[in-house]
Amino acid sequence: MWQVIGQERAVSLLQHGLEAGKLAHAYLFTGPAHVGKMTLAKNLAQALNCEAAERPCLKCPGCLKIDAMRHPDVQVIGLLQKEDATEAKLIGIEQIEYMQHDANLPPFEGKHKVFIFDNADLLSLPAANRFLKTLEEPVPNVTFILLTVNDKQLPLTVISRCQRLELAPMSLAAETAALIEKKGLEPQRARLLAGLSHGCPEWALDAINDDSLLQRRDEDLNKLLGVLGADYEERFAYVAQLAAHFSQDRGAVYRVLDLWRDFWRDLMLQKLGCDDMIINIDHKAELVEMAPIASELEQIKGVIDSIQSCAEHLRQNANTRLALEVLMLDIPIKEGGLIKAV
């Protein structure tokens, strides 16, 4: 029973290979964050080591150990935490050498060794070249699974020796149905989480287990709604806070910008009458109120473009505060029920 939600094509391909005894010795799973790459990799590692007739059973000692990542024959290779508490920026050659040594030893407890490369695009060039030797000479009972959001960052020589499986985001309807069926969520909640996760169900699963994800999103979205009615002085004070935060946690600021983009996209959908595609369904009242007073679609599109270009500038290391201030000038002010273009 494969745990990964969606990804029927990849699952059936792997299942078929497993039954026919014709799995590749190296796989490359590509797809956005939270789409299910690690879950699929763990399920494949379980299937390769499972003792049950229907693999992976998820219940035998081997499956349970792999689920908890405590199986000696299944390892995740990623960024190392260094002694000085900083993280390495790349997966280094010494990690590959250590792995190669390990790969040449027989399985310790299970039937099959599996090495999962988390963020395989972070392999340093020397590490990738070293790893290539292993990929060129497959070792029996050893499988490599490379996970990446962006395989363009990997050398072509590495990609060409792996079977590449692309894990695409799920449709809103399919993810909603899966969350209802597999996780027993109420339809409204399943629909909200499916929308917020952008088709990547692992985010929804995280949000089910960790209330702080939705709380943070509510706080950020409420600040956005506050910004709409705020004058420039208040907006710039908010920008100063956001910019100060950026140096410690860049991800948090990108998350806020994504949230804003989604909100304005929702407003456009509401205005077009496509409200079945809206992400922020729990803020429907605000969208319904704002849709008629947003003067034109062009205006909404302009705001979405400004948000995108602000994120782009931040990625290119522009002055954070300046980029956010420019965005604040581009976002219309909601005044007495009217949105006026700046």
From candidates 13, 60, 88, 208, binder to Zn ion by CB under 5 A: 60
Minimum gap (Å) between residue 7 Cβ and Zn ion: 20
Minimum gap (Å) between residue 14 Cβ and Zn ion: 15
Residue labelled with tokens 């499988």: 143
Count of residues that interact with Zn ion, criterion CB under 5 A: 5
Residue 47 touches Zn ion, criterion: CB under 5 A: no
Q: How far apart are CA 175 and CA 66, in angstroms?
A: 26
Tokens matching residue 250: 């860049």
Residue closer to Zn ion by CB (options 30, 46) is 46
Q: Which residues contact 272 (CB under 8 A, 6 or more apart)?
A: 297
Point out which span in 60-68, 142-150, 252-260, 304-312 binds Zn ion (CB under 5 A).
60-68
Whether 102 contacts 71, CB under 8 Å: no
Residue 57 touches Zn ion, criterion: CB under 5 A: yes
Residue labelled with tokens 């929308």: 195
Minimum gap (Å) between residue 52 Cβ and Zn ion: 5
Residue closer to Zn ion by CB (options 50, 194) is 50
Residue closer to Zn ion by CB (options 61, 106) is 61
Minimum gap (Å) between residue 37 Cβ and Zn ion: 21
Minimum gap (Å) between residue 214 Cβ and Zn ion: 33
Residue in 326, 321, 322 with CA at minimum distance from that of residue 306: 326
Minimum gap (Å) between residue 64 Cβ and Zn ion: 8
Residue 88 touches Zn ion, criterion: CB under 5 A: no
CB atoms within 10 A of CB 315: 10
Residue closer to Zn ion by CB (options 60, 333) is 60
Residue closer to Zn ion by CB (options 59, 284) is 59
Whether 287 contacts 270, CB under 8 Å: yes
Q: Nearest 10 degrees: CA dihedral of 83, 85, 86, 87?
A: 80
Residue closer to Zn ion by CB (options 70, 89) is 70
Q: Which residues contact 178 (CB under 8 A, 6 or more apart)?
A: 5, 6, 170, 201
Point out which span in 11-19, 51-59, 174-182, 211-219 binds Zn ion (CB under 5 A).
51-59
Residue closer to Zn ion by CB (options 63, 96) is 63
Looking at the chain, list the stretches that DSSP marks H as alpha helix, in order from N- to C-terminal side: 8-20, 37-49, 61-67, 93-103, 125-136, 156-159, 172-183, 187-196, 201-209, 211-229, 232-246, 250-272, 284-290, 297-315, 320-330
Q: Which residues contact 37 (CB under 8 A, 6 or more apart)?
A: 29, 30, 31, 147, 167
Residue closer to Zn ion by CB (options 57, 228) is 57
Minimum gap (Å) between residue 56 Cβ and Zn ion: 5
Minimum gap (Å) between residue 19 Cβ and Zn ion: 15
From candidates 11, 63, 192, 311, binder to Zn ion by CB under 5 A: 63
Q: Which residues contact 40 (CB under 8 A, 6 or more apart)?
A: 2, 4, 7, 10, 11, 14, 29, 167
Residues that bind Zn ion (CB under 5 A): 50, 52, 57, 60, 63
